[in-house]
Amino acid sequence: MRAPSLLIALLLLVMGAAPRCLAAADPPPDEESLRGFMAGDYDLIGRRPDSTKTYAGRITLRVVGDALQATRTIGGVTSQAVLRFDTIAGADRIPVLRAQFTLGGIKHEAIYQWRSDPDNYPRFTGLVYRPNNRTKKPGLEAWFPVRP
């Protein structure tokens, strides 16, 4: 009886079903470690919501207590944001960062996904929008690490 169970488990692993099942039980990310990994300076490029206008600047992420704080400088204008960890609901429960900040004097919100690049630096991409469903076409942002 043991051999068929082992065979089924191996087949599920090879077919990729087992990792999806296990992913749902994965613990939430360790926020303290992630904050330290993400802290640093990034070049930022983006497109404004409901527009084709693009912008570029710099963003600095710093650990402040139990939070990840962002200082955004675009076109010589600096704004602050506190990033918070969250997940997008669904089967994959994708970890994301959420932020609120001003852009061009207007309040905005954003949701960012992150990945590690081949050199083990974090990279971020996200959607930028106005609060309360006032955006028809979300903007986009990408952050690229400024390497020491």
Chain segment 122-143, per-residue pLDDT in tens: 999 999 999 988 899 999 999 9
Domain range spanning residue 113?
28-145
- Domain assignment present for residue 36? The answer is yes
- Domain assignment present for residue 1? The answer is no
- Domain assignment present for residue 81? The answer is yes
- Domain assignment present for residue 34? The answer is yes
Question: In b/e form, how buried is each residue of 52-66, taking b as 16+ CB within 10 angstroms?
Answer: eeebebebebeeeee
- Domain assignment present for residue 130? The answer is yes
Structural domain count, the chain: 1
pLDDT digits (tens, 9 = 90+) for 25-72: 456 668 899 999 999 999 999 999 999 999 999 999 999 999 999 999
- Domain assignment present for residue 115? The answer is yes
CATH of the domain at 118: 2.40.128.120
Structure tokens at 58: 């710099």
Least confident segment among 53-57, 77-81, 115-119: 115-119
Task: Report the predicted TM-score, pTM, of the whole model to 2 decimal places.
Answer: 0.76
Q: Which residue in this structure is represented by tokens 């309040």?
A: 107
- Domain assignment present for residue 101? The answer is yes
Distance CA 52, CA 109 (A): 18
**CA nearest 140: which of 126, 130, 119, 123?**
126
Going by the DSSP 8-state scheme, the letter that residue 105 receives in this structure is T
Inter-residue contact 132 to 116 (CB < 8 Å): no
- Domain assignment present for residue 74? The answer is yes
